[in-house]
């Protein structure tokens, strides 16, 4: 067996056509989030999709009809996958008066927290998740890993 290199990788695949995504930059931001949570081992795959695709996956894996923002899959041994709806990020950004790029990064943070044992099924879990999300987003801004200039480089119509 060939030993794996120290640290893990982040691979981003853009399978939607609504927006052009700077996958390399999104992978770099994701790797920084992983450092902030103290876990960079293992490989993480991010797949960017549209609402119809995430709705099919949501029905298949969670028996829930309709689209959602993100699906997180923990495959064990540090391997994980985040499926993110870019279409949902755009709609939610309008709703919450933010940018689609900020919403997309929030989804990455949210998914990584799910992979690290956070849940959001109960009100108490939701509050704990929101606090952790905000802490990570503030750390990203303070470290200049994600700011307005970087956000503009993530997505293009």
In a domain, 53, yes or no: yes
Which residues lie across from 83 on neighbouring strands?
Answer: 47, 71
CATH number of the domain bearing residue 29: 3.40.390.30
How many structural domains does the chain have? Answer: 1
Per the structure, the complete domain to which residue 38 belongs is given by 10-156
In a domain, 2, yes or no: no
Phi, psi of 17 (to 5 degrees): -120, 0
In a domain, 1, yes or no: no
In a domain, 38, yes or no: yes
In a domain, 4, yes or no: no
Mean pLDDT of 40-47: 93
| Each residue's pLDDT tens digit, 2-31 | 444 456 899 999 999 989 999 999 999 999
In a domain, 5, yes or no: no
Rounded Cα distance, 124 and 89, in Å: 24
What is the pTM (predicted TM-score) of this model?
A: 0.92
Mean pLDDT of 137-151: 90
């Amino acid at each position: 067996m060939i030993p794996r290199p120290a640290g893990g990788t982040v691979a981003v695949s853009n399978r939607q056509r609504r927006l052009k995504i700077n996958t390399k930059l999104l992978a770099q931001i994701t790797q920084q989030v992983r450092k902030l949570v103290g876990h960079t081992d293992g490989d993480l795959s991010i797949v960017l999709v549209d609402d119809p695709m995430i709705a099919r996956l949501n029905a298949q894996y969670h028996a829930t009809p309709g689209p959602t923002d993100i699906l997180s899959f923990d495959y064990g041994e540090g391997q994980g996958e985040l499926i993110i709806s870019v279409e949902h990020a755009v709609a939610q950004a309008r709703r919450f008066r933010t940018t689609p790029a900020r919403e997309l990064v929030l989804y990455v943070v949210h998914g990584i927290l799910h992979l690290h044992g956070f849940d959001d099924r109960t009100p108490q879990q939701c509050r704990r998740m929101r606090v952790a999300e905000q802490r990570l987003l503030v750390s990203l801004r303070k470290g200049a890993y994600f700011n307005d200039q970087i956000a503009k480089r993530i997505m293009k119509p």
